[in-house]
A and B are shown apart, each in its own frame.
Chain A
């Protein structure tokens, strides 16, 4: 009887693991916003809009989208992250040259479910638009907007800049698989579009998975074989390592219809189309992987330098097998940073600049502190529920997280510190 019960537990555990271990990438397209208020507007320099960043509070109107918001600016969008249920707004913007106002149009959505709608804002010239455009001052910004249908009004007011602590302590927020899965973005994980838009969802870096093709091209793919969680049904089956990159480009597509990207393509998009800084390469351990990564990563650094971008690309060492491969290519380690997942001591032994413990290992305060004394940053992975995120931000000393739910991380870190 005891054996039977034990097997029953094992069975149910297996069922649960299978059920919850692999999140399907649910694509959800944002609602169509006519963007009428953006018609005939002029582009505004990203550096100017960047001054909008800070903490905003609800000034007037409906509180159904939250009462306090963190504003972050990506390369092309302005995003707000609410204190309520991970709600976020992602907004395009432009300057109305006729009246001097700044117009915003986009969508809002809950981080974890399909509830979403359109939202538009306007900053009148006298409500802070002029000061922002002319002087980069955000302190008197008042956004007036409408959302949903039937329309509800909402007004947000600039409350304060980020705290000195936040400004002095950069927190690394890495989108798991390039785009935070829980936000149900319309982009496939490990996709070029995921990289380009990840920043809109609050991340300042990405984690991407690396496999080798038959002709030794590093591609960005989580699984080692085709699976309908990640790819559309096409004529190819089996392991990605059985196919050349050319064949994959022609006859395989991610679930959002994009081609499976090479790492080179992703890194180029990262450098050219975002302002993000960090890339965690989750190396899956193919034979001689670092030999083939080295030129790709080297080219990305060279390109970033050429376009004056500050990026850090570190290779993850998740297992002894990958460390063995890493050691086979000492020139890689001599040039580029690495992150060891096994233990702080392994990170030290392999001269890694980053330590990446699984979040189930706990806060690891002693390790994190010791790492800090040695110049090693610690990034916990993968945090997705808000309770854990809040707990680890308040009680831990981590330098960053990988998350599937970056809107929560952004609000909790920037608003509560």
Chain B
């Protein structure tokens, strides 16, 4: 910081040296080199000044990580065994966002959505759970300082787990390639690093036409 007042003075001295040299046409090579080195040093210093001339403004975080958890509701559209479906389950969601100083930000989102569970009664008791792990590109847009909307699209891995009383466990998985989510959320900044909020999130998976809506409680860390 102590260098700051000296820089204009140094510029003055160098420029005067340069002008004087050309005027009297006696500038030798040694002096020219000193001038060039001086200019480069000063350019670096000016750059440093540009980065630190507003010491009172806090550093703006460009990246953020958000994680959310909450209950979800599955839109039960099964054509077979619809009555055995438990519609209320849970979702985890996490995303890493690049948040430049614009309304729009972009990132990658994943998570674990328990879509539904399926329980048949005795005597052939079977418990089936179906879940999705999405991996999607997400776009986020602020609609006010506290509210935002998200849209994401990408793929999901669909997990199918079956537990039977007398036939053991069976696991399978599928892949859904054209899925999307939409969310609207509220965010409250606790400080420069942390935020909390909530969002309502709709998820659609094309593979088996699964849809749910989740109410997530979201925590954010900005870095």
Contact = CB atoms under 8 A, between A and B. Distances in A.
Q: Do A and B come from one complex?
A: yes
B53 interface: no
Given A233-B79, A237-B208, A251-B128, A243 B167 contact: no
B167 A234 contact: no
A234 B174 contact: no
B174 A235 contact: no
Given A226-B208, A228-B209, A250-B124, A234 B170 contact: no
A210 B164 CA distance: 26
Contacts of B126: 247, 250-251
Nearest to B77: A233
B173 interface: yes
Contacts, number: 70
A287 interface: no
A251 B81 contact: yes
Interface string A245-272: 0110011110000000000000000000
Interface string B169-213: 011111000000000000000000000000000000001110000
B35 interface: no
A108 B159 CA distance: 45
Given A237-B172, A243-B172, A252 B167 contact: no
A215 to B, nearest CB: 9
B78 A236 contact: no
B158 interface: yes
Query: By CB atoms of chain B within 10 A, which of A228, A238, A243, A244 has the most?
Result: A238
B167 A244 contact: yes
B173 A234 contact: no
B167 A237 contact: no
Interface residues of A, number: 21
Interface string A195-225: 0000000000000000000100000000001
Contact of A246 (B128, B158, B167): B167
A76 to B, nearest CB: 29
B160 interface: yes
A214 B85 CA distance: 25
A53 B35 CA distance: 109
A237 B130 contact: yes
B117 to A, nearest CB: 9
B162 interface: yes
Task: Give the dominant DSSP class at A's interface.
Answer: loop
A234 B172 contact: no
A238 B172 contact: yes
Q: Binding site of B, secondary structure by majority: helix, strand, loop or mixed?
A: strand
Contacts of A253: 79-80
B160 A236 contact: yes
The residue in B80, B118, B164, B170 that gathers the most chain A C-beta atoms within 10 A of its C-beta is B80
A235 B78 contact: yes
B53 to A, nearest CB: 47
A237 B174 contact: yes
Given A226-B208, A253-B80, A237 B124 contact: no
A236 B128 CA distance: 8
A239 interface: yes
B81 A235 contact: yes
Nearest to B78: A233
A55 to B, nearest CB: 44
A242 B128 CA distance: 14
A82 B89 CA distance: 56
A225 B174 CA distance: 8
Nearest to A242: B172
Interface string B84-95: 110000000000
A236 B172 contact: yes
Contact of A234 (B81, B124, B158, B159): B81
Interface of B: 77-81, 84-85, 118, 124, 126, 128, 130, 158-160, 162, 164, 167, 170-174, 207-209
7 contacts: A232-B79, A237-B208, A242-B170, A242-B171, A247-B164, A251-B126, A252-B80
Given A226-B208, A242-B172, A251-B81, 5 more contacts: A233-B79, A235-B85, A237-B158, A237-B159, A239-B172
Interface of A: 214, 225-226, 228, 232-239, 242-244, 246-247, 250-253
